[in-house]
Amino acid sequence: SRPIATLSMNEVDRCLKEFIVCQRKYLSIRNNNQLVNFQEDLSEKELFTLVSAYSLTTNQNEHMHQLITIREQQVKIWEQLLMLRMRILDKFLPQHFDDLEHFIAPNIYSPVISNTIAIQFKNKHYKIIQEAKRSWLNITLHAYEIKIQEYDRQYQYELVQLKSRLLNSMTLNGESMFHHLNEYANSRTKKLKADIHHRVSSYRKILLQNRQRSPSTKNIIG
């Protein structure tokens, strides 16, 4: 048996110092993130208190509600897009990509003898499947991006309508009201995206575990 390697006191001291530096960096980053989250939550609550005090008309309230609803719907699409991109990065696509190959390239011909023709056929069969999956993937990504852009157009339209109604109303501080309402809507959107980043990060850990346990990795774009 090999002798157990021992460290000198200098090496032990160096390792301890590196560990302490690493832990300090980790604690510093964690504390800074917690501070930023606390400040953002506090700012959102202050904005909510401020905008809740405004006496908006029915039409103004409807536009504000539409702005929030549009962002919530858009963020859901954005979350789906993030998860798909994450699956692409981890080379583990959804199950329905496997189902696609049964329609585009059914494995009808399966020769008993593995000769040159059989090998060529299998290679061509595999290439057709991969190209089809890649095309379908590009179409899916493009569809998500179009949806997100459409929600952006709807949001900008409602934002212009809200600003117009506030500035044309009898309210003296219409410009200030619009600024605070817009700031509150942006704050909510930022919070929703932060929550999604956290969920996607947790989902990725589960996905990687499932990928390791998966007996097959057919749904991979090579």
CA 61 – CA 67 distance, rounded (Å): 10
Residues near 74 by Cβ (< 8 Å), separated by ≥ 6?
147, 148, 151, 152, 155
**For 114-142, how does the pLDDT look when each residue is reduced to its tens digit (9 = 90+)?**
677 777 777 887 788 788 888 888 898 99
Q: Are residues 29 and 89 in the same domain?
A: no
Q: Are residues 49 and 64 in the same domain?
A: no
Cβ neighbours, 10 Å, residue 172: 8
pLDDT of the residue at 146:
94
CA 20 – CA 14 distance, rounded (Å): 10
What is the total count of domains within the chain?
2
Q: Are residues 90 and 200 in the same domain?
A: yes
H helices within the chain, ranges in order? 9-52, 58-89, 96-104, 116-168, 174-213
**For 68-123, how does the pLDDT look when each residue is reduced to its tens digit (9 = 90+)?**
899 999 999 999 998 888 888 777 777 777 676 666 655 555 555 567 777 777 78
CA 212 – CA 176 distance, rounded (Å): 54
pLDDT of the residue at 220:
52
219 occurs within a structural domain: no
Q: Are residues 85 and 139 in the same domain?
A: yes
Containing structural domain, residue 41: 1-53
Q: Are residues 144 and 168 in the same domain?
A: yes
Q: How confident is the model at residue 21 (pLDDT cuts 50, 70, 90)?
A: confident
**For 156-212, how does the pLDDT look when each residue is reduced to its tens digit (9 = 90+)?**
999 998 888 888 876 667 788 888 888 888 888 888 888 888 888 777 777 777 666
pLDDT of the residue at 105:
56
Q: Are residues 126 and 100 in the same domain?
A: yes
16 occurs within a structural domain: yes
Q: Are residues 84 and 192 in the same domain?
A: yes
Q: Are residues 147 and 172 in the same domain?
A: yes
Q: Are residues 87 and 42 in the same domain?
A: no
Is the model's pLDDT at 20 over the cut of 80? yes
pLDDT of the residue at 202:
79
CA 133 – CA 139 distance, rounded (Å): 10
Q: Are residues 41 and 118 in the same domain?
A: no
Q: Are residues 6 and 91 in the same domain?
A: no
